[in-house]
């Protein structure tokens, strides 16, 4: 998952980024609403963590702008505002969750996992095909019951493919989803990750097929 943190407290933003990166996510941070809007217009994110007390404008304005633009990216509001009217307004504007500061990083991480599970309901929180089992909640992959070790970016690519089975994903879309501003990736790097995953998923009953000149798709192997 690629996450965007919109938070002007640099220390808090850095702590959140480190926590979420350890959980396997790709994370970018901005410190005001304008940069958040530009980031959302330019790049594809799977989830936004949004502060309300931003230096240039209220976070509610950014949330409202997202929903007016038909952006359905899940949003967790993380703010010091604990009043009931603020909670109600945030949820009415389209926030998916509302978390009051101070909070434990572990709680935010759990709420992120919950939104991921909710988003993945169309494919089920646990994806099974052949001998492959991918638990999108716990972020575990197994082949024939044996745990498969995946790097953060390998998991991100596999998660993209699993949640859209049978759909060809453009290489550019994959690059955008697993890159961060600090760690940009090339098409060659994606090819290397896919090659490594193919080896790890050998005999799993699924394969990552190359769609020539376009990208990749996940499908059951011919033997299934």
- Count the domains in the chain: 2
Question: Where among 97, 119, 141 does a domain terminate?
Answer: 119
By the 8 A CB rule, do 11 and 35 touch? no
Chain segment 98-153, per-residue pLDDT in tens? 999 999 999 999 899 888 777 655 445 677 777 888 887 677 889 988 899 998 88
Q: Same domain, yes or no, for 77 and 109?
A: yes
Predicted local confidence at residue 56, as pLDDT: 96
Q: Same domain, yes or no, for 114 and 128?
A: no
Q: Same domain, yes or no, for 108 and 153?
A: no
In which domain, by residue range, is 7 found? Answer: 2-119
Chain segment 91-108, per-residue pLDDT in tens? 999 999 999 999 999 999
Q: Same domain, yes or no, for 46 and 135?
A: no
Is the pLDDT assigned to residue 34 strictly greater than 90? yes
Three-class DSSP category at 211: strand
Q: Same domain, yes or no, for 75 and 145?
A: no
By the 8 A CB rule, do 53 and 28 touch? no
Q: Same domain, yes or no, for 86 and 177?
A: no
Chain segment 159-210, per-residue pLDDT in tens? 888 877 778 888 888 888 888 887 888 889 999 999 999 999 888 888 899 9
Q: Same domain, yes or no, for 33 and 104?
A: yes
Q: pTM to 2 decimals?
A: 0.68
Residue 15's nearest CA partner among 111, 117, 126, 109 is 109
Which pLDDT band, with edges at 50, 70 and 90, does 222 fall under? low
Q: Same domain, yes or no, for 115 and 127?
A: no
CATH number of the domain enclosing 104: 3.40.50.2300
Q: Same domain, yes or no, for 136 and 214?
A: yes
Q: Same domain, yes or no, for 144 and 107?
A: no
Give the max Cα distance, the chain: 58
CATH number of the domain enclosing 143: 1.10.10.10
Question: Where among 119, 138, 160 does a domain terminate?
Answer: 119
Question: Where among 119, 146, 175 does a domain terminate?
Answer: 119
Predicted local confidence at residue 176, as pLDDT: 81
Q: Same domain, yes or no, for 73 and 142?
A: no
State in Å, rounded, how far the first CA of the chain is from the last one: 29
Q: Same domain, yes or no, for 146 and 179?
A: yes
């Amino acid at each position: 998952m690629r996450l965007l943190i919109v938070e002007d407290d640099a220390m808090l933003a850095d702590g959140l980024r480190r926590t979420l990166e350890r959980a396997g996510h790709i994370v970018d941070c901005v410190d005001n609403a304008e940069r958040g809007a530009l980031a959302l217009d330019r790049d594809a994110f799977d989830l936004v963590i949004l502060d309300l007390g931003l230096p240039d404008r209220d976070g509610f304005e950014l949330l409202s702008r997202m929903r007016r633009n038909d952006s359905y990216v899940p949003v967790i509001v993380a703010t010091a505002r604990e009043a009931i009217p603020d909670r109600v307004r945030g949820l009415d504007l389209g926030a998916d969750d509302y978390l009051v500061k101070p909070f434990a990083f572990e709680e935010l991480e759990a709420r992120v996992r919950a939104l991921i599970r909710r988003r993945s309901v169309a494919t089920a929180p646990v994806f099974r095909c052949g001998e492959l089992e991918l638990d999108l909640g716990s972020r575990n992959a197994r082949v024939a019951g044996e745990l498969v070790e995946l790097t953060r970016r390998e998991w991100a690519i596999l998660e993209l493919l699993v949640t859209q089975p049978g759909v060809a994903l453009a290489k550019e879309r994959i690059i955008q989803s697993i890159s961060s501003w600090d760690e940009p990736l090339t098409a060659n790097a994606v090819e290397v990750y896919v090659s490594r995953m193919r080896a790890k998923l050998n005999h799993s009953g699924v394969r990552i097929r190359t769609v020539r000149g376009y990208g990749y798709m996940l499908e059951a192997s011919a033997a299934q």
